[in-house]
Amino acid sequence: MQSQYGSDMRKVACEGLSRGAAISYEVTWEDRRHGTNYFALTISHSGGIPLELPPPFIQRLLAGEYGTAPFAGAHFFMYCGMQDEEWGAEMCRQMRHAKNLMQQYGAVIEGFIEDANGKHRGYHLNAQHHEAGVQTFIRLTSD
């Protein structure tokens, strides 16, 4: 990555699928809160934030416990499939909610893919989707 793209080797991408994506928001916040800023990009796919009963971390975020811009400097790339085998279109509803919250609290959304024919693992199963995330990471970490 460094020799071919000039990437900063001190930076990584944090990727979460399903429940891993659902906790990627808090993991990214911890990275920002501690000032380590290892994550040049967080790729969250098929793991949104419920509107009705958000997890405790999101409840604290919404209550203002982390300030107005706790995700400032964080970059996200997100994916959902409307044909999610377990969640159906609800997954995209929750991913749109996650996208809106991350933006509201200071994050930059580098990409948001809502695949009309996509499945739960569609980010990895569709080479174009995966390539878009990888190219975003390269762009963010290159000279």
Q: Given pLDDT bands bounded at 50, 70 and 90, which one contains residue 7?
A: low
Write the secondary structure of the chain as one string of H (helix), E (strand) and C (coil): CHHHHCCCCCCEEEEEECHHHHHHHHHHHHHHHCCCCCEEEEEEECCCCCCCCCCHHHHHHHCCCCCCCCCCCCEEEEEEECCCCCCCCHHHHHHHHHHHHHHHCCCEEEEEEEECCCCCCHHHHCHHHHHHHHHHHHHHHCC
User: For 9-13, 74-78, 89-93, 98-102, which range has the lowest pLDDT when averaged over its residues?
Assistant: 9-13
* 31-75 pLDDT tens trace: 999 998 899 999 999 999 999 999 999 999 999 999 999 999 999
Percent of the chain with pLDDT over 70: 92
Domains recognised in the chain with CATH numbers: 9-141 (3.40.50.1820)
